[in-house]
Structure 1
């Protein structure tokens, strides 16, 4: 039974970035490639020990090394991406990035044979069979387990604006869903996903984690796929909400903000703040607004009195935390808008080409 420990939470402010990508052929169409890229010859050094795959044979995941200097996160992401693109090219593949691949039709794609994923397919059935999603996960180290749980609780309100800014998946299974982030809704069909309930402290969270394993709901703690979670193996708070991003600069912008936000919340915990009480239903409502409308919406305020526009959120958070990336994300055309524009103007072939990283 794989469970984490409070002892893992021993470093404050370190960073790690996980990105999920798609393996595609010369025409930018999804193709099975993990046998060569993950299980074949040893990948180049930036990827050694930091390359894995997901449920389908056309999905692949990278992890950066531990990042101790936040300003180096962008360079670390680009180094890993460049190594992945080169590694794929050496085996005749290309790499694409988006929350969902517009040409991926799950019934026509092969699942990985890894026992972990076969067990999930057997247990979860239809929702997992169609899970072709790709996300961006940001880990920030926290030096105390109770603090990590408190920070994760507080982060829940911020997840909807992050999803709105990251939305990059309007197409799923070959059609336009009408959603800004179809990935969010497809992934949310799995068990143990979406917006978590607040936990009283680390003991409360660990009790839940242990029960889920002991009662057979999950095989290990890694199958708690909530939008934010204390990672009891890495000693981090992990935000899992954003869609995968095509542009690495957008990844760096998200990492900058998430890091600053976690440090700010950690300071507020140390100052004795009691935390924010927000109804789970309102958090779900905010996430739905981001899923459906992306940037073209507002959000129920943290105190549940009135609404907050995305523009005012970006302005206030940028000024409060002294970050620049949020404004860059808001000023640029959204990933969802770019995809729809290219698809309408030039068709699916052009869109697939746009999403490739080389």
Structure 2
């Protein structure tokens, strides 16, 4: 990976790329340690995974990437093709694939880290917070054709991140116990440096100066280690939303992809039309952090400090208001569903740990 990106990367509007992180598990649904063959084995993975498959920090976590998607309507087919290929690839090696924000049975002290030099460097530099990072998320890239526009969109999207996290919350268990949180993944992950809710940037030049300073001072090895909930991706020329927990149901993933794409397109049109009055980007970062905490803790039951900084708003109202504004209701369908964290707790209480593990397998 190149250390720094470029403003020239921002040359396409509305394209999509989706990254999903998964868990490699055995026949009983337990995380496996020391798995290399899915990524580095002699056999080539099925075509949709060629060049699009890699370890994350642990050997039992694996990331897939879709190809560049020109039409949001084609995203569902690409996502399903990648998932089906991954499941097939894992089965040929005797494994299964599971999905969640955290695997409830993943005990980080018992699992092997990936050998990739990038991750070994992170472990040495960051130490304990990274050693225990068994998280898995959903990352959505939307192409933006102007760098200043991308920074403005990322600024504006910050208020939307906690409701998206609450809607996606799917990680109540960590290291074998119930954390009491709806999204423990978000709390585990934000213990790393350069994570969480970013500060607003004045323009692309300001973001570029920050990115360069972090690399030049050795705070990060490259731009990819700025792991904020939303960021301009200066390598891909996208706005990247990194907030949602990993999901087992592809229909849920597709809803997030469609809804996030519509959010970015709506803000891009507002920027182009000169309608740049803030929709919440002016809210203090401390209040945005408070909203994120409420999302982590309460999931679908969360309420948030509204964009005016004074009133509060529930998750349903927040999502419905956004969907009305962007003219897309993909996310509203998720409001009536049992959340991932609720589902995991219900299955665990009613049927036990074995059923919970099975429920997370693709």
Both structures adopt the same fold (TM-score exceeding 0.5): yes
Shift of 1:32: 3.0
Structure 1 segment 172-251 matched on structure 2, within 5 A: 172-251=174-253
Aligned counterpart in structure 1 of residue 46 of structure 2, from 44, 47, 51: 44
1:338-349 equivalent positions in 2, closer than 5 A: 338-349=343-354
The superposition leaves residues 170-207 of structure 1 with CA deviations (integer Å, 9 ceiling, x where unpaired) of 00000000000000000000000000000011110011
In structure 2, runs of 5+ residues without a counterpart are: none
Q: Name the CA distance, whole Å, in 2 between partners of 1:270 and 1:322.
A: 17
Q: Tell me which moved more, 310-319 or 294-303.
A: 310-319
Distance 1:33-1:328 versus aligned 2 partners, 3 A rule:
farther
Task: Give the corresponding residue for 2:355.
Answer: 350
1:296-311 superposed matches below 5 A: 296-311=301-316
| Distance in 2 of aligned mates of 1:249 and 1:297 | 23
Distance 1:9 1:34, change over 3 A: farther
2:34 touches 2:112 (CA, 8 Å); kept in 1?
no
Deviation for aligned residue 1:271: 2.1
Q: How many residues of Structure 1 are paired with residues of Structure 2 in the alignment?
A: 357
Task: Could you tell me which runs of 5 or more consecutive residues in structure 1 were left unpaired when the two chains were aligned.
Answer: none
Alignment match, 2:299: 294
**Would you say the 8 A contact 1:34–1:59 is kept in 2?**
no
The correspondence for 1:68, drawn from 70, 74, 78, is 70
Partner residue of 2:114?
112
Is the contact made by 2:23 and 2:60 (CA closer than 8 Å) also made in structure 1?
yes
The within-5 A match list for 1:113-128 is: 113-128=115-130
Q: 1:90-137: CA deviations, max 9, x gaps?
A: 111100000000000000000111111111000100000000000000
User: 1:13 maps to which residue?
Assistant: 14
Would you identify which runs of 4 or more consecutive aligned residues in structure 1 move more than 3 Å? none
Distance in 2 between residues matched to 1:20 and 1:153, nearest whole Å: 25
Structure 1 window deviating more from structure 2 (70-79 vs 131-140): it is: 70-79
Aligned to 1:79: 81
Which range moved further: 306-315 or 11-20?
306-315
Task: Give the corresponding residue for 1:145.
Answer: 147
| d(CA) in 2 for partners of 1:302, 1:58 | 40
Q: Aligned ranges for residues 154-169 of structure 1 at < 5 Å?
A: 154-169=156-171
Equivalent position SS for 1:179: coil
How far apart are the structure 2 equivalents of 1:3 and 1:15? 21
Is contact 1:195-1:227 (8 Å) kept?
Answer: yes
The equivalent of 1:258 in structure 2 is 260
For the Cα contact (< 8 Å) 2:34–2:111, is it kept in 1?
no
- Counterpart Cα distance in 2 of 1:34 and 1:16: 26
Tell me, in whole angstroms, the C-alpha distance in 1 between the residues paired with 2:142 and 2:17: 7
Instruction: Quote how far apart the aligned CAs of 1:64 are.
Output: 0.5
Partner of residue 332, structure 1: 337
Q: What's the counterpart of residue 3 of structure 1?
A: 4
Q: Give the SS at the match of 1:331.
A: coil
1:280 shift after superposition:
0.3
Deviations 1:213-264 (A, max 9, x none): 1001011110000000100000000000000011000000001110000011
1:34 Cα deviation after fit: 4.2
Structure 1 stretch 292-301 or stretch 177-186: which is displaced more?
292-301
Does the CA-based 8 Å contact 1:102-1:175 persist in structure 2?
A: yes
